[in-house]
Chain A
Amino acid sequence: MKTWDAIVIGAGHNGLVNACYLQRAGLDVLVVEKNDWIGGAATSRELTPGWLYSNCSYVCSLFRPEIMRDLELPRFGLQVIPYEGGAVFTQDGDYLASYRDHDAHRREFARWSPRDAEAYERYARDVTRQCRFIQPLLMRTAPDPASLRPRDLGELLYLGRKFGELTPSEMALTLRFWTMSISDFLDEYFETPVIKANLALSGIIGTALGPMSPGTAYVLLHHYMGEVDGSVGAWGYARGGMGAVTKALADSFVASGGTIRTGAGVDHVAVKNGRATGVVLASGEEISGKLVISNADVKRTFLKLVEEKELPEPFLRRVRNFKIRGSSGKVNIALDSMPEFPALPKDSPCLKGDMHFTDTVERMERGYDDWKEGRFSRDPFLDMVLPTTLDPTMAPAGKHFMSCFVQYAPPKIDGRDWTDADRDAFAETVISQIADYSPGFRDRIVHMEVRTPREIEAEVGLTEGNIFQGELTFDQLLFNRPVPGYAQYRSPVGGLYMCGSSTHPGGGVMGAPGRNAAAEILRDLKRPNRQMSDAHDVI
């Protein structure tokens, strides 16, 4: 029987990034994927003829350009197009637009409040400063504060030195940023409800917290750390849908000699004498490998794929306590024509970006109240995009694909499993919200896919349907992600590594966990790692 140098469980973006780097470093790598298609939560699927659905993740910003370049993803077809605008619709028939032009953006804010318009510069400066502090940490293994190894000490020193370079007021801001609620944070800059609602949304997306929960200010930073071609904080569409990201990765992987097997779900990781020896598929087939790397989240990996007896009790306890609460769903819609939003000027650039209907932070928080009580939000928060306004490849000419990210949706309804009736009622909250602002919207719907946490977990494998493979709160970041003592992609089982978003620096289609894990694996193998370039300088 063939023994692979490395077996990667899951063909999500991080699994593929990891596999690409290992293959390029000379290992013989196999990726096994339970679905008949690749991509994990970064897929494009033709669910109705003629339409490509980005049916999980739907926009791109965080994916690291260093990885795109190292793995030659443009050569394999990856293109990212930035948003042209964005809007929050207000209940009084107006809207707050986001415009790319700096002065137009200011004038749009000034429509609502001249003070807020001019406060935006101070806000942008402060957020940019924090991003610049954190960005270099994304592509580095988090130091183990309890370790005395020279590398850990060096990394700790780096972290300390970077913090030490901050001015006293920046240090104060950093600590506040990492601990405050996004609502409190925005109150310090702005007075207009819709402006705060617009900026707060980045603080709650993918998180089982409300905008008034402490810790959400950091989640906002996490969403601002990305870029489109150097434009920091910008978001864009992957041409061909988010599957274009994983398709480019897979093509790059295969071109460098790697092997992918789809329809090959892993039943468990084979462990002998405390060391991973391969995987056993659901079919019973055994595949032998010197290393096993799991792209699955930390709960799925260690509570489902590894036998409990192989794991130390404290580790297991911490994995059980890891917060990975489902909080969101998706409604993906094929439209036979461009929906109208009469509140917006004709041909507004806002249609070519993210649109929302939640115009106050309080409404967002009320949506979260429903989640706490075990229900989906009656008045949900939507992050709605029409990628086909900029990407002609996803639907026939004149037709459109609409992606609605929906929050909040609990992993269970009143403590019981979701039913199909629940799912349909959930979808109705979304459609009726859109229809309130877009007359005739229902009549344009050709096909619709509704994904609650139940569907996301069942199909993609994300525990509770949590899009980040674990919440991005400060207790679960850096050397505490996923659990203290195991934040460097290794696990208590020899030869078994983690490379998914449960690890540092966390979720989003970023690729950094997969890359950083590959660096650690190659270090353990004492193999040169010449294909991996350093993180771009933040100057």
Chain B
Amino acid sequence: MERDIAMTTQPATRRAAQSHIEAVRLESPFHPRFAALSQQNDWYSWAGYKAPHSLWDEEMEYFAIRSQTAVFDISPMVKYRIEGPGAEAFCNRLTLRNVAKLKPGKVQYTAWCDDEGHVLDDGTLFRLSASRFRLCCQERHLPWLLDSAIGFDVTVREETEEVAGLAVQGPTSCAVLKDAGLAGVETMKPFDIRVFPFGAGEVTVSRTGFTGDLGYELFIDAASALPLWDHLFAAGKLRGIRAIGYTALNRARIETGFIVANADFVTAEHAVRADRVRMPDEIGLDWMVDLDKPYFNGRRAIERARREGTLKHVLVGLEIEGNVPAEHAIVYHRKTKEAGLVTAAIWSPTGKRNIAIASLERPYGTRIVDDLWVEIYALRELRYQKLMKRAKIVERPFVKLARRTLTPPGDF
């Protein structure tokens, strides 16, 4: 079936949008609240949005995630609406996991590849109804999605700016949402989606997050963003609700061993150097690849690479001796042979150990797993202190919290 995939806008729409250049950094629908809370004024650009690195104290913001309720703005995350009778078949063709097994009201963490089996991005696929999905991710893929949709009875639309999102994460997050009137939220299991009435409209809640803690993600029409915020913060006052920036969130995600596109791997459509791309098996996503489902993009290439043993890299979790974070350090075998690179590293406040995510060149990390070292260049008062520290491959997540999956969660 030939489809018209042109997206050209109408003249009135594009004229109205001319003024976008007056504010080069977009402000999220929640920005007025973040701006009011920001003592640091430490903003960075997340996909063109003004986003906080830290609001008041990145250390305390981290502990808000692990002890109370932390609120992180996920509105800048790129969102696509995929809708139509053919939406399930389309998503199944697009992504690695079996979407036929994804029931309405559930979320899948998934990834998708080009024809060469290289990962285009990872993200979360929300099945909002039998025929309606939302794909949330880091990078932009509209041409890929539109072209892939040819032959499927489905429409694809980018809706990043229309939908506001908040991650509400931490041990008291369920209690906060309950206090906010989301009746029955405590019965939601991980990866469940539920819609709750809010004001004249509704808020869509999923039990998902990027912290490895108990947590939820809330999605709402951009116009209702501020009332939702005010309602949540009023309800959460006694439960220690606090807004946080990316630095704190990043610590929590490294503890959980989650990967970030274009930080821990390079996405296929952005790699200027063709050898920098990665297959799912090379970034720890091999478990997603479902060979029992019908054909999906990249399948043949993935199967061939597995069969012929041509996979070049592997992503591992490392525990490194000492307490100096090994960010972007080179990983060596026997202290001499280069074996890979650390892509993210921190001292884990919750795990009380020095952890890292690393991309190794096979057979290091697969066949050869012993005698690994990292060379850390610690800049201390205008001198590099070069440290050669032993690194051990360990399981991810580095920090595993029972409350993440416990249902119903504890009422703190």
Contacts and interface: CB of A to CB of B under 8 A. Distances in A.
B264 interface: no
A255 interface: no
B18 A111 contact: yes
A113 interface: yes
Contacts of B269: 121-122, 125
Contacts of A152: none
B142 interface: yes
B14 A348 contact: no
Contact of B20 (A111, A119, A122, A166): A111
B140 A97 contact: no
B143 A118 contact: yes
A125 B271 contact: yes
Size bracket of the A interface: 35 or more
A523 interface: no
Contact of B272 (A125, A167, A345): A125
Contacts of A122: 143, 269
Q: Is the interface of A mostly helix, strand, loop or mixed?
A: helix
A99 interface: yes
Contacts of A166: 274
Contact of B21 (A117, A191, A348): A348
A99 B24 CA distance: 10
Contacts of A433: none
Contacts of A115: 5-7, 142-143, 146
A170 interface: yes
A106 interface: yes
A345 B141 contact: no
Contacts of A128: 272
B17 interface: yes
B19 interface: yes
Interface string A114-132: 1111110110010011001
A103 B47 contact: yes
Nearest to A97: B21
Interface string B114-127: 00100000000000
A169 B272 CA distance: 13
B338 interface: no
B300 to A, nearest CB: 15
Contact of A191 (B8, B17, B45): B8
B45 A103 contact: yes
A104 B11 contact: no
Contacts of A189: 143
A113 B8 contact: yes
A270 B159 CA distance: 73
Most chain B beta-carbon neighbours within 10 Å: one of A99, A103, A132, A191: A103
Size bracket of the B interface: 35 or more
Contact of B8 (A102, A112, A125, A345): A112
A372 interface: no
B33 interface: no
B144 to A, nearest CB: 8
A92 B143 contact: no
B336 interface: no
A192 interface: yes
Nearest to A343: B18
Given A114-B158, A129-B274, A92 B20 contact: no
Contact of B48 (A107, A118, A121, A349): A107
Contacts of A537: none
A395 B25 CA distance: 34
B24 A104 contact: yes
A94 interface: yes
Nearest to A128: B272
Contacts of A340: none
Most chain B beta-carbon neighbours within 10 Å: one of A101, A108, A115, A192: A115
Interface in B10-60: 11, 13-15, 17-22, 24-26, 45, 47-48
A166 B11 CA distance: 42
A345 B142 CA distance: 29
A103 B48 contact: yes
Contacts of A167: 274-275
Contacts of B7: 113-116, 191
B5 A104 contact: no
A129 to B, nearest CB: 6
A125 to B, nearest CB: 6
A189 B144 CA distance: 11
Contacts of A170: 274
Nearest to B48: A103
A90 to B, nearest CB: 9
Given A108-B20, A166-B274, A94 B140 contact: no
Contacts of B293: none
B22 to A, nearest CB: 7
Contacts of B5: 115
B9 interface: yes
5 contacts: A104-B20, A121-B270, A169-B274, A189-B143, A345-B21
